[in-house]
């Protein structure tokens, strides 16, 4: 059966705000300025204000945002950066792009984010930073991470690619560490219609370094004061992101409504459901359940036209490109998670009726499994 309910649907986000987005596109096309102009400057200011930070610097992708954030912090060859293996490979790729060495620790099995109890054991004389990933929209345990990082003089670089609007005690992700990186890949809670990313910080020195690094190290046009690269958030994406930023809180609230519907309908089932730590606001980039027979459930849903996905099927430390050369602790929670996690359909435009169809189909599968056994 063809997919009738998508797991993610960026087209729906365009259709929901089509008039505003089309107006923004026409405004940029008629301006004659398409790279690092007024739209990008305005978006940087608006996004920084939304997060409660001083500075934002638009770049070409979330991976570039992490890479340049690391370089701005002076992290490079010979340095180690602690992060998790249960993440998009971009997290580890960015560390290696900066010339540093990733050191992988396990995750908390309840939140799928960095297990703070593993952190100090992973430290070495070469450790320069901790890079927590706010996975699936749930914030990592930032107060505890910061306490350890400050104790050992480490930089904290947040990977906020999946956590637009997530928060702990009212402080949004991106506002906790020294510097943070966001992705605007189209399926994100704040998604562009192409690639894009942003670096945010309260540190004026880090902001200036990232501004230099994103455009050839130019202190003035055609004069490179440091070695840089080309990674710029273009005017079209900036203008469209300005539109979508105005709706982000409302969209996140709708994600919450749908997530609560899933939680209510699936309560008491044999699935392990997402949880939210005390004081945290889960932005539900993804609604991730877990089950030992995940693959069978996935096949059952897809055969009935319900899209679902695995984020992520292979942890970074077991991927061919990385498996022979990363330093890591035992990762039992990570390796268990990748065998069991499944992302259900979730986006603001998903109808409650379709969400009910998803849960009804899952409950049908659970009954089928009970009958078999």
pLDDT tens digits, one per residue of 276-325:
999 999 999 999 999 999 999 999 999 999 999 999 999 999 999 998 88
Question: For domain 10-105+114-246, which CATH number applies: 3.40.630.30, 3.40.640.10, 3.30.70.20, 3.40.50.300?
Answer: 3.40.640.10
The rounded distance, in Å, linking the Cα atoms of 303 and 301 is 5
Cα-Cα-Cα-Cα torsion 268, 137, 355, 336, nearest 10 degrees, comes to -50
C-beta neighbour count of 325 within 10 angstroms: 10
Report pLDDT for 327. Answer: 77
Instruction: Work out the average pLDDT over 108-135.
Output: 98
Angle at 160 between CA 261 and CA 283, to 5 degrees: 15
Beta bridge partners of 114: 107
pLDDT band at 253 (very low <50, low <70, confident <90, very high): very high
Q: Please state the domain extents for the chain.
A: 10-105+114-246, 248-372
Report pLDDT for 324. Answer: 86
pLDDT band at 1 (very low <50, low <70, confident <90, very high): low
Segment 340-371, tens digit of pLDDT: 999 999 999 999 999 999 999 999 999 988 76
Report pLDDT for 2. Answer: 66
Report pLDDT for 70. Answer: 98
The rounded distance, in Å, linking the Cα atoms of 214 and 59 is 7
Parallel, antiparallel or unpaired: strands 280-281 and 167-168: antiparallel
pLDDT band at 226 (very low <50, low <70, confident <90, very high): very high
Quick check: pTM over 0.75? yes
248-372 under CATH 1.20.58.1030, yes or no: no
Report pLDDT for 43. Answer: 98
């Amino acid at each position: 059966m063809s997919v009738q309910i998508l797991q993610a649907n960026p087209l729906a986000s365009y259709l929901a705000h089509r008039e505003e987005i089309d107006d923004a596109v026409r405004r940029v096309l008629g301006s004659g300025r398409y790279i690092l102009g007024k739209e990008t400057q305005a978006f940087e200011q608006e996004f920084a204000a939304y997060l409660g930070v001083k500075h934002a610097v638009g770049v070409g992708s979330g991976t570039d945002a992490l890479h340049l954030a690391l370089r701005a912090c002076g992290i490079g060859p010979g340095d180690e950066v602690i992060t998790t293996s249960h993440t998009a490979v971009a997290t580890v790729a960015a560390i290696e792009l900066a010339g540093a060495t990733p050191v992988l620790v396990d995750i908390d099995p309840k939140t799928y984010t960095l297990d703070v109890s593993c952190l100090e054991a992973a430290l070495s004389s070469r450790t320069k930073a901790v890079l927590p990933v706010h996975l699936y929209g749930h914030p990592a345990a930032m107060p505890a991470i910061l306490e350890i990082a400050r104790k050992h003089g480490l930089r904290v670089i947040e990977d906020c690619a999946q956590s637009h609007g997530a928060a702990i005690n009212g402080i949004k992700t991106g506002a906790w560490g020294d510097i943070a990186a966001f992705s605007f890949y189209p399926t994100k809670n704040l998604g562009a219609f192409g690639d894009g990313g942003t670096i945010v910080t309260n540190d004026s020195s880090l902001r200036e370094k990232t501004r230099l690094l994103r455009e050839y190290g130019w202190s003035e046009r055609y004069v490179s004061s440091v070695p840089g690269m080309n990674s710029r958030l273009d005017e079209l994406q900036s203008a469209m992101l300005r539109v979508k930023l105005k709706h982000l809180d409302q969209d996140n609230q709708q994600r919450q409504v749908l997530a609560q519907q899933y939680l209510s309908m699936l309560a008491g089932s044999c699935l392990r459901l997402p949880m939210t730590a005390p004081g945290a606001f889960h932005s539900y980039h993804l609604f991730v359940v877990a089950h030992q027979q995940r693959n069978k459930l996935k096949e059952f849903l897809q055969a009935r036209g319900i899209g679902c996905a695995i984020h992520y099927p292979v942890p970074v430390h077991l991927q061919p490109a990385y498996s022979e050369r990363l330093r890591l602790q035992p990762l039992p929670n990570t390796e268990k998670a990748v065998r069991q996690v499944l992302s259900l359909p979730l986006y603001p435009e998903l109808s409650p009726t379709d969400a009910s169809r998803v849960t009804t189909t899952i409950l049908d599968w659970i009954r089928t499994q009970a009958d078999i056994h």
